[in-house]
Amino acid sequence: MKPNYYLLLVIIIGFILPVSCKKTQPVDQLSLLPPATTTGANTFGCLVNGTAMLPTDVKPSLSNPNPNGGIEKVFWDSAILEIAIYNANSKEPEPYYLLFHFGTFNKLQSGVTINWEQSSFDDQFSPYYMYHNHLTGSFYDDSSKVYHWYGSYNGSGSIILTNFNTSQKIISGTFSGKMRMQNGNKEVLITNGRFDIKW
* pLDDT for position 156: 97
Please report the pLDDT score of residue 147 as a whole number. 87
pLDDT tens readout for residues 80-135:
899 999 875 554 445 578 999 999 888 899 999 999 999 988 787 777 778 899 99
Overall average pLDDT of the 40-56 stretch: 93
Q: Which residue has the higher pLDDT, 93 or 25?
A: 25
Q: What is the pLDDT of residues 130-175, one digit of tens each?
A: 889 999 999 888 788 888 999 999 999 999 999 999 999 999 999 9
3-state secondary structure the chain: CCCCHHHHHHHHHHHHHHHHHCCCCCCCHHHHCCCCCCCCCCEEEEEECCEEECCECCCCCCCCCCCCCCEEEEEEECCEEEEEEEECCCCCCCCEEEEEEECCHHHCCCCCEEECCCCCCCCCCCCCCCCCEEEEEEEEECCCCEEEEEECCCCCEEEEEEEEECCCCEEEEEEEEEEEECCCCCEEEEEEEEEEEEC
